[in-house]
Amino acid sequence: MVPPPDNDWSLRDMAKYPFLEDAKEYIKEEGPSFDELIQDRLWGEARKRGKERVLQTLNEGRVLIRDLEGEIKQEEELFSYPIARMLVSSVGDDYLLRRYTLGEAERVSEEISREEDDKILKLSSRLDLNSDKRKGEFTVHFSDYLESTERLRSSGWKLVNQDLRDGRVYLGKRRFVRILKEKVSSIISEGLPAPTSDTILEKFNSELEDIKEELESVRTRMEEVDMGEVETELFPPCMKKLLAGQKEGENLSHEGRFALTAFLKKVGLSEDEIIDIFREAPDFDIDMASYQIQHIIGEISGTEYNPPGCDTMKTNGICFNPDSLCDQDWMNHPISYYSIKKKNEDKDQEEKEEKE
């Protein structure tokens, strides 16, 4: 087996960080050909791991870290990465692509957290991040900081709230790793979905069927979340703000009214209960409000509208006061926010009852 070209960065490192240039180069120079990778018995384990990577992102929310003792395991791990990308690209489902990207980024973040500081800085420079360590803390050039935290919405990430000295942002390890995770996530998502081919579809037919089946069952599980009693204090910050604005008679934008109504319906409020909330506004007009609400909840159009996701909320300027839960990579919908809060609260309640 030919050793990797850069002794500073081992095969094990490439297996852990397969999206970096060194790893791509190694795959190209030292790896099997495309045909060998997808057909040869020698690479059966890499194909198996590729499928496992995808299924784990669906079932566990992240790719689980594997034991990487020995070059054979390291190569299998490394070559399983392009296989996983072929599989998610061939299914071609946006939700799967998003979940896969986040699942890989979660694994990488866990790997980085386990590394020594020197290794973390080497990785950071491979990610083109202007960073170093000063006075025991990680620092990042402010322009790189701004670029890397673009998607982090809570105020704790705003530049004005950072320890900024001489154009550099000082950070503890946990926050620095979070920034690296953001960079990694955008690199992993680049080029996805990749073009697929008849050969790939044919060769991976059974793997693709299994992934599609799992994807459907995850979707069904998500739809079956029982919202139970509606608890407004567990609403996401955006909905709390819209709700408060509505009650205080603020003139909500069309998008704001729409998002709030569709959200309230989704979490289990009846048409009458929604009307009662809108009734509290000083400019309340029962006919107009009923018409709008009935339209959104599907009584007029026959189509029940889903509340918009976080990206749309942000575009419409109604993603208010995002908090640390909003900052989680996988958080992409106000309904997900609410259902997580509900689940946590139910769990706390059960634990309390058990203790009593």
Site map (CB under 6 A) of ligand SF4, residues 122-161, x = contact: -------------------------------x--------
Minimum gap (Å) between residue 236 Cβ and ligand SF4: 4
Q: What separation, in Å, do the N-terminal and C-terminal C-alpha atoms of the chain show? A: 62
CA distances from 217 to 59, 212, 329, 355 (A): 10, 9, 22, 35
Minimum gap (Å) between residue 105 Cβ and ligand SF4: 18
Asked if residue 322 binds ligand SF4 (CB under 6 A), the reply is: yes
CA distances from 252 to 246, 261, 280, 303 (A): 7, 12, 13, 23
E strands in the chain:
131-134, 137-141, 163-165, 168-171
| Burial (0-12, 13-18, 19+ Cβ within 10 Å), 312 | middle
The residue within the footprint of ligand SF4, chosen from 43, 246, 310, 329 (CB under 6 A), is: 310
Asked if residue 262 binds ligand SF4 (CB under 6 A), the reply is: no
The residue within the footprint of ligand SF4, chosen from 237, 245, 256, 307 (CB under 6 A), is: 237
SS3 139: strand
Residue 16: count of CB within 10 angstroms of its CB: 23
Residues whose CB is less than 8 angstroms from the CB of residue 200 and which lie 6 or more positions away in sequence, other chains included: 38, 86, 90
The alpha-carbon radius of gyration of the chain (Å, integer) is 24
Asked if residue 256 binds ligand SF4 (CB under 6 A), the reply is: no
SS3 194: coil
Asked if residue 319 binds ligand SF4 (CB under 6 A), the reply is: yes
Question: Residues in contact with ligand SF4, total (CB under 6 A)?
Answer: 12
Residue 248: count of CB within 10 angstroms of its CB: 10
Asked if residue 263 binds ligand SF4 (CB under 6 A), the reply is: no
Minimum gap (Å) between residue 123 Cβ and ligand SF4: 28
Minimum gap (Å) between residue 322 Cβ and ligand SF4: 4
The residue within the footprint of ligand SF4, chosen from 62, 313, 339, 342 (CB under 6 A), is: 313
Minimum gap (Å) between residue 226 Cβ and ligand SF4: 20
The candidate with the shortest Cα–Cα distance to 322, out of 157, 99, 186, 171, is 157
Question: Which region, judged by CB under 6 A, interacts with ligand SF4, from 62-70, 72-80, 234-242, 296-304?
Answer: 234-242
Decide whether 324 or 349 has the Cβ nearer to ligand SF4.
324
- Using CB under 6 A as the binding rule, the residues of this chain from 323 to 352 that contact ligand SF4 are 326, 334, 337
Interface positions with ligand SF4 (CB under 6 A): 153, 236-238, 310, 313, 319-320, 322, 326, 334, 337
